[in-house]
Amino acid sequence: MRGELSPSEKTMLESVRRFARERIEPVAAEIDRTAAFPAETVGRMAELGVFGLLIPEAYGGVFTSHLLYYSVVRELAGHCASHALTLLSHCLCAHLVATFGSEEQKRAHLPRLASGETLGAVCMTEPDAGSDLAAIRTFAQERDNVYVVQGGKHFITNGGRADLLVVLACVSRQKTPFNQSLFLMEKSTEGVRIGRCEMKMGCRGADTRELFFDEVEVPAANLLGRKGQGMLQIAHAMETSRTAVASLSLGLAERAFRHARDYSKQRKQFGQTIGSFDAIRFYLAETATDMECARLLIQEAAELQRKGKRIVRQSSMAKLFATEMAFKAASRALQIHGGYGYMQSFPLERIFRDARLFTIVEGTNEIQRKIIAGHL
């Protein structure tokens, strides 16, 4: 990604790059094979400070720019998408607390989130409410200065590993845009029940769970921001999260491209390397062009954020383009490898499976098209 990272930001990014190459890359295939959560390497990521990338320094974080955050997510994804997705979900939780939390909430939670002592998760999706979050059924009933939360969530990244949950729940039976709120909830709270771990097609090392809330009592002080503003808060945080998904996808595309380019220089057919055939060269040219477009979209979003502007349209464009680009890039790279690309001994089939997820999460690409169209 071409951007104006400061010298200190470049130093941090280089540390992440070195860590990913030396510690994550050697275990990535095994993580995918066993679908095991990489607790050791995720724990060591905390030592690099990446869990505090969206948390101000005053609360123990290392936030300097959104561009650094996007660059780190991209770098991790180039080695293992599961690590990048784990970080992305944690940072969405931290971002919500940092943006909408009270001073007391920030001081209570942000230092632990920044250090990695606490892992975060955001609980929105339900069986009947994915793209249509207005259809959620989890309900928080106010009683004597507490909210009693009843309901359940599914497809929650970090769900079985997170210590702090940000939970979206209805606070009114009326169907209005202001009938939902966000609540901070410790996973250890009585009544919080962890469901099964989902076995996924890709990003198999990221912990994805069902969560159930059985009459969970949450103090009224744990309401995040103003009552009834939950959907607006989620929409605001999604601007950053969707751009991060675009960066993650770019990292996957770049990894696929490097494999395809290098393989095309080595593999020989008909007496010459396959990289000398126009069909292969054109695949590489298209992917390189697509990746440059994705970089520019992410860079534009980060620059607007640096100026304090909203990026509703830009984040949706970046997410839509980069995620579909990454899937195409992985498909082209797999095709260049031929039969070898289909084998698990080569990394292309894993990248292909991982890339497919990101056209769905953080708002499906159909939803992104709807958002973009609304801004035209």
CA distance 259 to 320: 24
Produce one character per residue of 300-317: b if its CB has 16 or more CB atoms within 10 Å, e if not: ebbbbbeeeeebbbbbbb
CB–CB of 60/118 below 8 Å? Answer: no
Catalytic residue among 75, 190, 362, 366: 362
Q: Is 362 a catalytic residue?
A: yes
Catalytic positions, written as ranges = 362
